Structures are given as C-alpha cells and as structure tokens.
Amino acid sequence: MPMAYLPAITVTAGASEANNLGTSATLHQNDINHQQAATSDTATILTKIPGINVQSAGGISNLPVIRGLADNRLRILVDGVDSIASCPNSMNSPLSYISPSAVEETTVYAGVTPVSVGGNSIGGTIVVESAEPTFSEDSNVVTSGEVGAFYRSNGNGYGANVETNIANDVLSLSYKGSYAKSDNYDAGGDFKTYTDASGSGQSLAKDEVGSTAFESQTQSVDVAYHNGDHLLQGTYLWQRVPEELYPNQRMDMLDNQLDRVNLRYKGELNWGQLEAQAYHEDVEHYMNFGKDKQFLYGNAAGMPMYTDSETIGANLKGIVDLTDQSTVTLGAEYQDYTLDDLWPASGTGMMGPDDFENINNGQRTRIGVYGEWEKQVAPKWTTQLGARYENVRTSADEVSGYNSMMMTNQGRDSAIFNASDRSTTDNNVDATAIARYDMSDNSSIEFGASHKERTPSLYERYTWSTWGMASIMNNTVGDGNGYFGDPDLKPEKSNTLSMTFDWRGADDNWGIKATPYYSHIDDYVDAVQWDSANNTAATTQTSDQYNVMRYTNQDARIYGIDITADRDLPSNAWGDWGLAGSLSYTNGKNKDTGSHLYNIMPLNASIALNHENNNWKNQVEMVAVAAKNKVSTPRNEVKTAGDGLLNLSTGYQWDAVSVEAGIDNVLDKNYALPLGGSYMGQGRTMGINNELTTGSNWGTTVPGAGRSFYMGVNYKF
C-alpha cells in the first residue's frame, strides 16, 4: 500500500533512496503538501522525520535540531545556497526563506554525512530544493500554474500561494509568491499567572502565548534555459517580513528583507555531470520590542537593533563515472560573508549617547575542496569514502559601546576586545566512510563513521559585552540568558559512529528501521556562568535565574537511537489500512562539567493509523514525549513535563483540486514545548531577572498550541 502520509514515507525512505548512502530520509512534495495547511514553518514539516525536532523561534523560522545539534551546527542548503542567520538571536534562519509551498523535495542527512553535502557543520545537512523548471516537449508554448490558500483557527492564521509558469522547449519563465499571517496562538490552558503585557496597560490572557504573531511574504522569479544536456537557471528571490514576534526572545523582528540572486548550471558532459553555481544574498534585519513587550524605557523609544549582511558564494561540482563502475565526486566551494550588527543610541539613559557596535565588520570566508569515491565493491557491498578540507577565516573590527559607565563595563570590555587578536584562520578537515551491506532487495545494514569540524560563528567569537542588558540580546537558544563571545574559540571537532538496520518483509508489508549513533565532540561550544564584575568565570553558580554566560570550548558526547516501523493492516470494504510509528531517544552530556547538554529532546514517540480509499486519505496520530529532566545546569535550563497529543487529518485529491483539513491537538492539551525555551513573550524583557512587575519570569516555558482546526485548498492548472 503506497502511503502518502509522512510517517510511512519516512520509513520507506531508506528503501526508496537506497542509492544514496548516508541519507536519513527524503520528503517529497506529496508528503509536504498536506502539512502546508497545518504550518507555515518549513522546519516544522521536517519534524515528521524521526530524530528531527525544532527549537522554537518565530512562526516561520523555527530552528531544526538533528539529534541534539542545531543552528550553526547544521548545514542547510536551500537550492544550493548555504545561508547564515544574520541576527544575534538566529531569527532569520535559512529555512525561513523558503515557504512550505515552494519546497519540492527535502533530504536530511543526519550525523554521518557525505562530505559532498557537508562542510563547516557537525550535526548533519538539510538539502531543500524547489521545483526544477519545466519545459514543453516541442516548440509550442505551454502554461501551467497553481493557487492555494489555507486557514488555521488557533491564531486566526491564513495565507495563500500562487505559481505560474510559461515555457517552450528552450526557455521557461516562472513566478512564485506566498503570503502568510497569524495572530498569537492560544495554549490549551493557562500557562502563566500574569497578564501584564507591554507596560502600558495592555494585557494578555493567561492562555494567550504572547509574541507568536507573524506576517511574511516571499516571492521569486525564475528564468531557465535548456539546450540538450545543459540547463541554466537564474532565480531572484525576495522576502519581506514586516513582523515576526518571538515568544522566547527579548526582542522581536519588526522588519526583515532578503534579496537573493542564484545562478545555477547543470550539464551532462561526456565524462559525467557538472554543476556550477554562484549566488549573492543581502539581508537587512531590524529588531525592537513588538506589541506584546514593553516599548518605552524612560524616554528611550525601545532598543533599535540593525543587522546587515552580505553573502557571496560559488560552488563547482563534478561527478565522474569511472570505467570500473565507481563514481568520483569532486567539488570546490567559496563563500564570503560580511556582518554588521549595530544598536543605535536610544533615549538619554543607559542606551547612549553613542551607538553600540555589537559586531563591527564581521567577516567569514570559507574556501573548501572535497573528493568522494563511491563503488559497489562486491555484489552486496557498497562503500563511500570522502574527505574535505576547508580554510575558514573569521575576523571583526574594533567596537565601542553606548558609553563607558562603570556599572556596565562597556569601556573595559571593549578595550579588552579591541586589544585582542580578532582574526583567526582555521584549517578544518572532514572525513567520512560509509558501507552498506544489502541482505536482500529491501533490507540492508549501513555502517558509518565520520570526523567533522566547524568553525564557531561570528556571534560565538565576536560578541564582547559582559553587561547583562547587552548580553541578553545575544542569545541564539531562546533560554533567556545573556551570552558573549570569545575570539579564541577553537573549531568544534566531532567523531561519529552510526549504524542503520533497515529490515522490510519480503512482500514489503512491514518494515523496521533503527539507527543507533554515538558522537564525541572535542571543543564543543558550550557556555559558563560569568562574573561580570571581576570579568572571570563565576566561582559560585546561581540557580533558578538568568545569567550572563560566556561561550567556551568543552568536550561533549551525544548518543541515541531513532527507530521507525510500519505495518500494513488487512484491507476491507472501507479501504486500505496501515500503522506507522517512530521513537527517538537522545542523550547529550558535557564531559567537562558533567552537566547534560541544553535543548536535548526527551524520549518521544508517535504512532499513526493511516487509511486510504482511492483518493481519500485519513490519519489518526498520537504523539507522546517524556518529561525533560536532563537539563543544562550552567544555563539553568527549565525542565518540562511529559505530554501526549492527538492529531487528526484528512485529505482528498481530485484531478486538479486537492483539499486538506485537520485538527491538531484535538484534546486541547496544555503542554510545554520541550525545546521551546524560556517564555519571554510579554513584559519588561529588557530587564534580566526583572521581566515582570513582580520580578523575574524565570521558570515559565513556552507552551505548544492548543486545539487548532485547519484547512487548505490547492488548485493546479
């Protein structure tokens, strides 16, 4: 029974993608389609893959987490562009720049990743591709298109997408646009005891999750030229986000503008395939306090923060088929990234008279080369060996703060930073070995080992202020703490071993796939509590409050297992039935401190009953997650209770029209998101441990959405 629903797909992905070593799962457009009505967040759709979770952020920009590693530790390629979040809170994450409706296919490589898709990452790679251009068979001009719309009851979310193509056999022109907007969503019940919101008399109900509203608009124009075995494609993508609020950050994104030009060439040559790419990306990002957070502080009208970045990149890749049935992939990559993060003076109090330079002319240049060799060495054995070298250079210029007031130590901290060596060149080496033994046509065992290295981000190396108010604005994990960097941070070095057992019944009506894994990470970038007055690591640790933390290299290890299983049930007059389930467990520990790592998803499982009758598909899904009791001690990470959720969905496909509808969290459970971080969605968020009129809000977690009805319609012409 070919199930189009996600849990079944992720199980069969191993078998259907058997040619791609190291692939953990692939989602195709059919799998993604029915999720578009339920969420506007591309990363959330990936959570249907076991071992993939999201760290909560804004409504369209959650951060994917692969087996406990997130954000800069993952490589995310959207149409080959390796973009970087340009924000001290990682708000404009790479996946926020592609709407679910524009995604054609997503492939996730977890842990042991082929070097051809890796680089400057230790956790894995997410490859997202939008649709390839279409051409007509002959010289006639053909047109096609698609329009869609959705509505969600919780938060009153709605949106639409449109796509049109016109092409002959040589040229193809297409336009894509999508729009999504939502108010704050409600939790399944009261999750906080206070209602005071913005310090000016407004209030939020105890079950309203403040700062979860968003509005986003993404468009692209695509021109493609096709001649024999050559395809040349140029895309201009622009996104405008006038408002995206963050329930676990002290700031909100009040404007984000992306402009990206992406040129790609693919050709079949007599020696193999050649792919070439060049791209340019401009990001202008503006933050301040949104409508649910206090805006006025004395005579200071908020805290404006501007982040600008420019990225230029080029990739070259050749896939050579050798005469001995082996394939060699050779590639070279270049990327140059420039970042400025400036906070203009505001009012006549603490935030002035000068501008605060958070990162001044930050630079990161990567030059990488790799080679990968793959061969079926014996009838049942396929192996892949790969090595990659990257030269990564980072630097930043001198900085200055708002002022040199003694209490805030901006004068001292900027002087120390400016006197330090702020330019580093890393020589990073990756190596991967994967071998698969095919026990039968649809069962296999895959063994993988890898060594991967990642240079710390510019925010990890070059943020400098130990002042509480400035450091809490530098936080990429949504835990309410303040962070600052260390120019001497060394690259993270990860060694990973994993195995994938993939068994399917001879008639393909059942299957189980299990991947245990173990990683040891040298120089993992964790953080320690800081004594700002003496500018040294704190000797006494605080608990139950937010702190100023400094990034530091420590050793860590992560192990766990991802399991999926599926089974067909007997068909009857009602149609075809099947069960699909998954289970994931991750355990992460800091070997230096003995603390657990932050943001590790607790044990979680799902089971779905799928039904299909001709073009009608239904699903009943139960998702359960255990309590999160293993938390990061230095970060005072907040524990969360376990929960179980029930979701229902249905969909019908006619020739041109499809309808999807469903209810998420049918029982309206009030539950905390295990990776939701600290709730910072309302109040006086500029004050560390002073967010409420009653003091600190520490201990409040970000809840998931209560019951939500959703419906989407799509029409293809």
Provide, rounded to whole angstroms, the least separation between the CB of residue 516 and Cu ion. 37
Contacting residues for 146 by C-beta, under 8 A, at least 6 apart: 161, 162, 163, 714, 715, 716, 717
Which range of residues in 41-49, 71-79, 166-174, 284-292 is near Cu ion by CB under 5 A? 284-292
User: Rounded to an integer, what is the distance from CA 97 to the centroid of its chain?
Assistant: 11
Query: Are 36 and 44 a contacting pair, CB within 8 Å?
Result: no
Residue (87 or 204) nearer to Cu ion, CB: 87
Provide, rounded to whole angstroms, the least separation between the CB of residue 92 and Cu ion. 7
What distance in Å separates the CA atoms of residue 234 and residue 637, rounded to the nearest whole number?
Answer: 45
> Residue 464: which of 426, 425, 412 has the closest Cα?
412
Provide, rounded to whole angstroms, the least separation between the CB of residue 283 and Cu ion. 10
Residue (112 or 287) nearer to Cu ion, CB: 287
**DSSP structure string for 530-594:** EETTTTEE-SS---SS--EEEEEEEEEEEEEEEEEEEEEEEEETTEEEEEEEEEEEEEEEETTT-
Contacting residues for 714 by C-beta, under 8 A, at least 6 apart: 33, 146, 147, 148, 657, 658, 659, 660
What distance in Å separates the CA atoms of residue 190 and residue 204, rounded to the nearest whole number?
Answer: 11
Residue (286 or 297) nearer to Cu ion, CB: 286
**DSSP structure string for 381-404:** EEEEEEEEEEEEEEE------S--
Provide, rounded to whole angstroms, the least separation between the CB of residue 164 and Cu ion. 33
Q: What angle do CA 534, 540, 545 make, to 5 degrees?
A: 100
Which range of residues in 56-64, 88-96, 310-318, 433-441 is near Cu ion by CB under 5 A? 88-96
Contacting residues for 361 by C-beta, under 8 A, at least 6 apart: 338, 340, 396, 397
Return the residues of window 397-416 that contact Cu ion according to CB under 5 A.
Answer: none
What distance in Å separates the CA atoms of residue 13 and residue 7, rounded to the nearest whole number?
Answer: 10
When asked if residue 6 is in the footprint of Cu ion (CB under 5 A), the reply is: no
Provide, rounded to whole angstroms, the least separation between the CB of residue 477 and Cu ion. 14
What distance in Å separates the CA atoms of residue 85 and residue 89, rounded to the nearest whole number?
Answer: 8
Provide, rounded to whole angstroms, the least separation between the CB of residue 422 and Cu ion. 23
Which range of residues in 103-111, 116-124, 286-294, 567-575 is near Cu ion by CB under 5 A? 286-294
Provide, rounded to whole angstroms, the least separation between the CB of residue 475 and Cu ion. 10
Which range of residues in 240-248, 285-293, 456-464, 638-646 is near Cu ion by CB under 5 A? 285-293
When asked if residue 245 is in the footprint of Cu ion (CB under 5 A), the reply is: no
Residue (96 or 220) nearer to Cu ion, CB: 96
Provide, rounded to whole angstroms, the least separation between the CB of residue 444 and Cu ion. 44
CA torsion sign, 267 to 268 to 269 to 272? positive
When asked if residue 197 is in the footprint of Cu ion (CB under 5 A), the reply is: no
What distance in Å separates the CA atoms of residue 85 and residue 78, rounded to the nearest whole number?
Answer: 13
Provide, rounded to whole angstroms, the least separation between the CB of residue 179 and Cu ion. 21
Which range of residues in 81-89, 146-154, 591-599, 617-625 is near Cu ion by CB under 5 A? 81-89
Residue (287 or 339) nearer to Cu ion, CB: 287
Residue (287 or 528) nearer to Cu ion, CB: 287
What distance in Å separates the CA atoms of residue 510 and residue 504, rounded to the nearest whole number?
Answer: 6
Which range of residues in 283-291, 366-374, 579-587, 594-602 is near Cu ion by CB under 5 A? 283-291
Which range of residues in 82-90, 436-444, 479-487, 488-496 is near Cu ion by CB under 5 A? 82-90
What distance in Å separates the CA atoms of residue 615 and residue 659, rounded to the nearest whole number?
Answer: 11
> Residue 222: which of 259, 262, 175 has the closest Cα?
175
Query: Are 475 and 484 a contacting pair, CB within 8 Å?
Result: no
When asked if residue 60 is in the footprint of Cu ion (CB under 5 A), the reply is: no
Residue (179 or 459) nearer to Cu ion, CB: 459
When asked if residue 287 is in the footprint of Cu ion (CB under 5 A), the reply is: yes
Which range of residues in 84-92, 127-135, 416-424, 525-533 is near Cu ion by CB under 5 A? 84-92
Contacting residues for 403 by C-beta, under 8 A, at least 6 apart: 350, 352, 353, 354, 410, 411
Which range of residues in 83-91, 228-236, 524-532, 640-648 is near Cu ion by CB under 5 A? 83-91
Provide, rounded to whole angstroms, the least separation between the CB of residue 256 and Cu ion. 8
Provide, rounded to whole angstroms, the least separation between the CB of residue 428 and Cu ion. 27
Long-range (24+ apart) CB contacts under 8 A made by 135-141 are 135/167, 135/168, 135/169, 135/170, 135/171, 135/172, 135/224, 135/226, 136/167, 136/168, 136/169, 137/169, 138/169, 139/168, 139/169, 139/170, 140/168, 141/166, 141/167, 141/168
Rounded to the nearest 5 percent, the helix, strand and coil shares of the chain are 10, 55, 40
Residue (224 or 305) nearer to Cu ion, CB: 305
Provide, rounded to whole angstroms, the least separation between the CB of residue 678 and Cu ion. 17
Provide, rounded to whole angstroms, the least separation between the CB of residue 246 and Cu ion. 8
When asked if residue 473 is in the footprint of Cu ion (CB under 5 A), the reply is: no
Residue (91 or 705) nearer to Cu ion, CB: 91
Given the structure tokens 């301040």, which residue do they identify?
288
29 φ, ψ (degrees, to nearest 5) = -55, -40
Contacts with Cu ion by CB under 5 A: the residue count is 4
Return the residues of window 416-455 that contact Cu ion according to CB under 5 A.
Answer: none
Residue (10 or 476) nearer to Cu ion, CB: 476
When asked if residue 680 is in the footprint of Cu ion (CB under 5 A), the reply is: no
Number of residue whose CB is nearest Cu ion: 87
Provide, rounded to whole angstroms, the least separation between the CB of residue 252 and Cu ion. 8
When asked if residue 661 is in the footprint of Cu ion (CB under 5 A), the reply is: no
Contacting residues for 283 by C-beta, under 8 A, at least 6 apart: 86, 92, 256, 257, 258, 307, 308, 309, 310, 311
Residue (343 or 698) nearer to Cu ion, CB: 343
Residue selected from 26, 40, 53, 89 as contacting Cu ion according to rule CB under 5 A: 89
When asked if residue 87 is in the footprint of Cu ion (CB under 5 A), the reply is: yes
Residue (89 or 463) nearer to Cu ion, CB: 89
Residue (54 or 303) nearer to Cu ion, CB: 303
Residue selected from 9, 65, 76, 91 as contacting Cu ion according to rule CB under 5 A: 91
Provide, rounded to whole angstroms, the least separation between the CB of residue 241 and Cu ion. 11
Please report, for residues 139, 171, 212, 239, the alpha-carbon distance to residue 165 in angstroms, rounded to integers and kept in the order given: 15, 11, 34, 20
Provide, rounded to whole angstroms, the least separation between the CB of residue 637 and Cu ion. 22
Residue (93 or 632) nearer to Cu ion, CB: 93
Q: Which stretches of the chain bind Cu ion, using CB under 5 A?
A: 87, 89, 91, 287
